[in-house]
Structure 1
């Protein structure tokens, strides 16, 4: 029997569940902190927008992660 791999999660799902929910940060607060619009943040969290390099840099600075985390999550989802 062939085992099917589970599709990777959208980076917006990871952002919401592992960062925003865990740390009690609202999408509005995140948008303000990143200097982006609420719409941009909401579209990422709702899996309607990809994480660009610019957003990955801002997320990494805000959360203290490496840029590659966000870029790799997006790349894995895109494949």
Structure 2
């Protein structure tokens, strides 16, 4: 948690809750549409890894967003996580 009591929001949480669930899309289907290994997409959705520049580009095209949207989510998560770890 950070100072306001909210946990840092991982881009995978946004991807899952705001895109995959409303679209009724599985990680497997998204990975196939992105031409990415399912394991790579799963790592992000399961919040075990981050969004790379290449994945941000593919997500933006597939989900009608921008690469900056995904990279901003990732950098904000990284910054807030580091702040949390420092206390």
Task: Specify the TM-score bucket, using the shorter chain as the normaliser.
Answer: over 0.9
Task: Show structure 1 runs of 4+ deviating over 4 A.
Answer: none
Task: Indicate conservation of the 8 Å contact 1:7/1:77, yes or no.
Answer: no
Q: Tell me the CA shift for residue 75 of structure 1.
A: 0.4
Q: Tell me the CA shift for residue 38 of structure 1.
A: 0.8
Q: Tell me the CA shift for residue 49 of structure 1.
A: 1.0
Q: Tell me the CA shift for residue 66 of structure 1.
A: 1.1
Q: Secondary structure at the match of 1:65?
A: coil
RMSD between aligned residues: 1.2
Query: Unaligned stretches of 5+ in structure 1?
Result: none
Q: TM-score, normalised by structure 1?
A: 0.92
Q: Which residue of 2 aligns with 1:65?
A: 65
Query: Unaligned stretches of 5+ in structure 2?
Result: 80-87
Q: Secondary structure at the match of 2:69?
A: helix
Q: Tell me the CA shift for residue 62 of structure 1.
A: 0.1
Counterpart Cα distance in 1 of 2:66 and 2:21: 20
Q: TM-score, normalised by structure 2?
A: 0.84
Deviations 1:6-49 (A, max 9, x none): 23210001000000001111101000000111101111001011
Q: Which residue of 2 aligns with 1:75?
A: 75
What is the number of equivalent residue pairs in this alignment? 77
Q: Secondary structure at the match of 1:7?
A: coil
